[in-house]
Amino acid sequence: MVKFVLNNKFIRSDDPPATLLLDLIRYREHLTGTKIGCREGDCGACTVLIGELKGDRVVYRSATSCLTAIGNVHNKHVVTIEGINREDGGDLNFLQQAICEEGASQCGFCTPGFLVSMTGFCLNENEPTRAAAIAAVDGNICRCTGYKSIERALAKLTTLLATRTSSDVLEFAISQKILPGYFTSIPRRLAQLALEPNGVLHGVPATDARDSATSNPIFLGGGTDLYVQQPERMVRSHPAFLNIDPSLQQITESAGELRIGGGVTVTQLLESPLIHRAFPHFPHYARLISSTPIRNIATVAGNFVNASPIGDLSVFFLALDARITLSDGSTRRVLPLNKFFKSYKTLDKGPGEYVESVHLATPQPNTRFNFEKVSKRTCLDIASVNTAIQLTVDGDTIRQAHCSAGGVGPIPLYLQKTSQFLAGHQISAALVDAAIDSALTEISPISDVRGTAEYKRLLLGQLIKAHFITLFHHLPEEEWL
């Protein structure tokens, strides 16, 4: 049995844990404010908030309910638009009023999703800047308004949130009637739920977890790839829920090594002080990686295991010379990430194995890192080409280099030859040109919906240039062209 609180109501569902939250919300609970736009996490019409008890507070994050298994909201609080509405009749709360006043709702189909995302923004403890407000709705697509009216409504909201003095964001939201009062009862109710027997939710090891199609064990992280690739198979499966194991969600550092649990989400990376220290520009890269509600649930291991040739995190960690620990519950083994990808969508991974963690050397003062990605739409899109580089430098001399590229071969590529070539050389435009020539010998892009092979070759070269221009901007621009 899966148990959670949906808005102001306890849900104890006998539906299979792999059932999609969206379907439960709309077709079991008949809460039709949560809309279906695409069922692949690309429009945000089905956005909900998922609240998780952390100490005596509930931390809320937006998520796309179309890719969320109900097992992943076990013991959590799920908030739909209906749970945000004021309880005192048909009145509008501050956000709803702002949307109406600015004409930011036209056909209205995307509107509940935007409001849920905006509510998530109100419950975020970070500074309520204009940029943060826009980032909160970066997973919501509107086809009518052109977004300017939505930006105007967001501006009203940030002005209000700027008056917030206490760190208790929930109390502020309730006092401003952005949220109904029942939210204060949620921590107690989630604590109560957690005390009840756990029911039939599988964790790891995947003793009883079974894929409906193959009878192999199946593991579910955030679900953002699995439910896009094979929704019908997934909903009939009995996966092991990686999220119930807290050890998979930790980021730790010891002896010069960063260890990131396989179940860590992109948002957890973004919020980790360790990651921030190691990669100060991570927020800049993360903006190019999917959208807020996806980043909130998509995991590091999921991105690896999906084996997409353009997986952003695969490319990111390949350039960090990362290693991964695979486990089947009893036996562990470690292998370099660049050996994990064997051929198109084929991994060095047994059916019972899952990615427990990824490890990398903590960047030192003389290491330089950069990530680049270009897609048809800058944000919330799959890369045409992405690439990352890590250089260990001594002045202008490269001591060691690791370079990766996605979208230019059947797997996310570690550019072995190019990485080796760069080591020991002094940085110059000529060196970069030679590195590009080398990289072009290592890739085999194909023409597809994300671009022609010719374009991808040109683009990878440009992005390698971009690495050096970004990292060594004291060198004159003219040299690079």
Partner 1 sequence: MTRDTKHLDAPAHTRGESIYLDDIPLISGTLFGVAFGSPIAHGNIRELHLNEAIQCPDVIRIFTYKDIPGENQIGGIIPDEPLFAETHVHYCGMPIAFVVATSEAAARHAVSKIKVDIDPLPVVTDPREAQANNDLIVPPRTFRLGDTTAAWQDCVHIIEATTETNGQEHLYIETQGSYALPQENQAIRVYSSTQAPTATQRVISKITGLAMHAIDVEVTRLGGGFGGKEDQANAWAAMCALACRHLRAPVKYSLPRTDDMVFTGKRHPYSADFKLGLDADQKIRAYEVTFYQNAGAAADLSPAVLERTLFHCTNTYYIPNVRATAYSCRTHLPPNTAFRGFGGPQGMFVIEAAIAKAAETLDIPAIEIQRANLICSGDEFPYGQKAVSEAHACWQKAETLYDIDTLQEEIGEFNAKHRLSKKGLAFMPICFGISFTKTLLNQARALVHVYTDGSVSLSTGAVEMGQGVNSKMIQVAATVFSIDPTLVRIQATSTQRIANTSPSAASATADLNGKAVEMACTAILQRLRSVAAAELQANPESITFLDGLVHIDGIPTVLHWKQLIMAAYIRRVSLSEHSHYATPQIHFDYTKEKGHPFAYHVYGTAIVIVTLDCLRGRYTVDAVKLVHDAGASMNPTIDRGQIEGGVVQGIGWMTMEEVVYDEKGRLRSNTLSAYKVPDIYSAPAEIALEFLHTDHDNLAVFRSKAVGEPPLMYGIGAYFALRNAILAFNPTAQIPFDAPLTPEKALMGLYQKQPTHVAG
Instruction: Find the binding residues for partner 1 in span 139-178 (CB under 8 A).
Output: 140-151
CB 356 within 8 A of CB 262: yes
Rule CB under 8 A: is residue 384 a binding residue for partner 1? yes
Among residues 26 and 323, whose Cβ is nearest to partner 1?
A: 26
Tell me the closest approach of the beta carbon of residue 85 to partner 1, in angstroms. Answer: 5
Tell me the closest approach of the beta carbon of residue 417 to partner 1, in angstroms. Answer: 24
**Separation CA 177–CA 184 (nearest Å):** 13
Rule CB under 8 A: is residue 281 a binding residue for partner 1? no
Phi/psi-derived region of residue 415, left when phi > 0, alpha when psi is between -120 and 50, beta in every other case:
beta
- Please tell me what DSSP assigns to residue 255: T
Beta bridge partners of 93: none
Among residues 20 and 264, whose Cβ is nearest to partner 1?
A: 20
Question: Which residue pairs, CB below 8 angstroms and at least 24 apart, start in 452-455?
Answer: 455/384
Rule CB under 8 A: is residue 95 a binding residue for partner 1? yes
Which residue in this structure is represented by tokens 């949220």?
Answer: 179
**Contact region with partner 1 (CB under 8 A), list: 106-114, 323-331, 412-420, 430-438:** 106-114
Q: Mind giving me the DSSP string for 14-70?
A: -S-TTSBHHHIIIIIS--TTSPPS-SSSSS-TTEEEEEEEETTEEEEEEEEGGG-BG
Among residues 83 and 262, whose Cβ is nearest to partner 1?
A: 83
Tell me the closest approach of the beta carbon of residue 101 to partner 1, in angstroms. Answer: 7
Among 7, 19, 24, 39, binds partner 1 (CB under 8 A): 39
Among residues 260 and 432, whose Cβ is nearest to partner 1?
A: 432
CB 117 within 8 A of CB 62: yes
Tell me the closest approach of the beta carbon of residue 181 to partner 1, in angstroms. Answer: 17
Tell me the closest approach of the beta carbon of residue 303 to partner 1, in angstroms. Answer: 15
Among 111, 303, 338, 418, binds partner 1 (CB under 8 A): 111
Rule CB under 8 A: is residue 43 a binding residue for partner 1? yes
Q: Which amino acid type is present at position 131?
A: A
Rule CB under 8 A: is residue 353 a binding residue for partner 1? no
Tell me the closest approach of the beta carbon of residue 358 to partner 1, in angstroms. Answer: 25
Rule CB under 8 A: is residue 308 a binding residue for partner 1? no
Rule CB under 8 A: is residue 35 a binding residue for partner 1? yes
Rule CB under 8 A: is residue 25 a binding residue for partner 1? no
Q: ω before 476 within 30° of 0 (cis)?
A: no
Tell me the closest approach of the beta carbon of residue 368 to partner 1, in angstroms. Answer: 18
How many chain residues interact with partner 1 (CB under 8 A)?
A: 82
List binders of partner 1 among 62-81 (CB under 8 A): 80-81
Among residues 32 and 420, whose Cβ is nearest to partner 1?
A: 32
Which residue in this structure is represented by tokens 């001399």?
Answer: 397
Three-class secondary structure assignment of 78-97: EECHHHHCCCCCCCCCHHHH
Among 17, 51, 71, 112, binds partner 1 (CB under 8 A): 112
Q: Mind giving me the DSSP string for 100-146?
A: HHTT--SS-SSHHHHHHHHHHHHT--S---HHHHHHHTTT---SSS-
Is residue 411 within a helix (H) or strand (E), and if so which, with residue range?
Answer: none
Rule CB under 8 A: is residue 99 a binding residue for partner 1? yes
- Closest listed residue to residue 139, CA positions, set 66, 82, 63, 197: 63
Is residue 231 within a helix (H) or strand (E), and if so which, with residue range?
Answer: helix 231-235
Rule CB under 8 A: is residue 38 a binding residue for partner 1? yes
Tell me the closest approach of the beta carbon of residue 82 to partner 1, in angstroms. Answer: 6
Rule CB under 8 A: is residue 36 a binding residue for partner 1? yes
Strands 332-336, 240-241: pairing kind: unpaired
Beta bridge partners of 460: none
CB 242 within 8 A of CB 299: yes
Tell me the closest approach of the beta carbon of residue 161 to partner 1, in angstroms. Answer: 18
Residues in the chain, how many? 481
Among residues 391 and 464, whose Cβ is nearest to partner 1?
A: 464
List binders of partner 1 among 362-381 (CB under 8 A): 372, 374-381
Beta bridge partners of 72: none
Tell me the closest approach of the beta carbon of residue 155 to partner 1, in angstroms. Answer: 13
**Contact region with partner 1 (CB under 8 A), list: 50-58, 87-95, 174-182, 410-418:** 87-95
Among 101, 127, 196, 396, binds partner 1 (CB under 8 A): 101
Cβ contacts of 161 within 8 Å, gap of 6 or more: 122, 128, 172
Rule CB under 8 A: is residue 90 a binding residue for partner 1? yes
Q: What do you get for the CA distance between the two ends of the chain, in Å?
A: 62
> Which pair of tokens denotes residue 33?
């404010």
**Contact region with partner 1 (CB under 8 A), list: 135-143, 255-263, 315-323, 324-332:** 135-143
- Please tell me what DSSP assigns to residue 215: -
Handedness of CA 230, 233, 236, 240 (dihedral sign): negative
List binders of partner 1 among 221-240 (CB under 8 A): 228, 232
Among 19, 64, 85, 267, binds partner 1 (CB under 8 A): 85
Using CB under 8 A as the criterion, what x/- string covers residues 431-470 for binding partner 1? -----------------xxxxx-xx--xx--xx-xx--x-
Rule CB under 8 A: is residue 182 a binding residue for partner 1? no
The strands making up 2-6's β-sheet, listed across from edge to edge, are: 9-13, 2-6, 77-79, 47-54, 57-64
